[in-house]
Amino acid sequence: MLQVSAALFAAYGFVSLGVGLMLLVVVNADRRPVGFGLFHPRPDAGVFGEPTVPDELQRPLAIMRAMHWHWLGGVMLSFGVLQLGVIWFGLLSRQPWALAVLTLADLAMLPHWVLVLRPYRRAGVRLRWLEIPPVLWVAWLVVPPAALLGWLALR
């Protein structure tokens, strides 16, 4: 049971690590005009409409967008590395503190994901699975069973 718990927690760690690494490449290759939104053009248009950004603001906003995504990518990369390290050095050594840290850190993210998604719900936009970055929905799927299985294995 502990190995299944570790694998579920690791899934979230690997997704976070992958997103962080992907953003290192994707952000620099993004040559689209700056617009409004976070996820996908269809749901973003439902929340933000389709405002245009004046030409004189394109460059500064593109720089700000790149800075934001690089920052988020670094946070996700760091989170993934720490997640996998706590699993490897703590949880798989049957250390109860590791289960507590993994569970609390992962559950601490969930309310923030709710806040990120709230404007879409308020606008009546129904997000499709592939329009939501995996780092958001993987947490909802794997963290609760990972925490429960870990607790059962360590008690």
135 contacts 69 by C-beta, under 8 angstroms: no
Is residue 125 helix, strand or coil? coil
Chain centroid to Cα 43, Å, comes to 18
Using CB atoms within 10 A of its CB, is residue 95 exposed (0-12), middle (13-18) or buried (19+)? middle
Range 52-57, long-range pairs (CB < 8 A, 24+ positions): none
Task: Tokens for 129, please give them.
Answer: 């699975």
pLDDT in tens, 10-23: 999 999 999 999 98
Tell me the C-alpha distance between 126 and 50, whole Å: 17
Task: Tokens for 136, please give them.
Answer: 């958001």
pLDDT in tens, 89-121: 999 999 999 999 999 999 998 899 899 899 999
| Average model confidence (pLDDT) across the chain | 89
5-9, 39-43, 72-76, 118-122: range with lowest mean pLDDT: 39-43
49-53, 106-110, 122-126, 142-146: range with lowest mean pLDDT: 49-53
The per-residue pLDDT for 95 is 97
The per-residue pLDDT for 77 is 95
Tell me the C-alpha distance between 95 and 155, whole Å: 11
Q: How many domains, in total, are found in the chain?
A: 1
Element (H, E) at 72: helix 55-89
The per-residue pLDDT for 23 is 86
Give Rg (Cα) of the chain.
18
36 pLDDT tier (thresholds 50, 70, 90): low
Containing domain of residue 76, as a range? 2-154
The per-residue pLDDT for 6 is 98
The per-residue pLDDT for 147 is 97
Q: Is the pLDDT of residue 2 over 90?
A: yes
